[in-house]
Amino acid sequence: QMQLVESGGGLVQAGGSLKVSCAASGSIARIGSMAWYRQAPGKERELVARIINSGSTNYADSVKGRFSISRDNAKNTVDLQMNSLKPEDTANYYCNAGIWSSLDYVWREYWGQGTQVTVSS
């Protein structure tokens, strides 16, 4: 059973920093892109940052220069370092990954359960 498990959310004051992490586990042959999405109450889920195998990244305009995504291919993990946090960054943050199973080598998309990030003003 493939799983993505997030950790590291919490409460931080505006201007502060926080890191959220995600670990993939299961019958993994290969992981393609890994990403972080977020969803605030009453809003649609939006892409925050994505990183592919080569290390190439892309970010939402709202977080460029403040957030940094990184991955460890050996450990099947992806981190999101969030600096200069703003109250509008408050949301549930979800890990996302495209994974080829070692059982059938079929690509599927997986989501974590989410971790809450709250930024107080």
pLDDT (tens place) for every residue of the chain, 121 residues total: 899 999 999 999 999 999 999 999 999 999 999 999 999 999 999 999 999 988 999 999 999 999 999 999 999 999 999 999 999 999 999 999 999 999 999 999 999 999 999 999 9
CA–CA separation, 15 and 83 (whole Å): 7
Q: How much of the chain is helix, strand and coil, in % rounded to 5?
A: 5, 60, 35
- In the numeric block, which tokens belong to residue 22? 């995600």
- In the numeric block, which tokens belong to residue 66? 């403040």
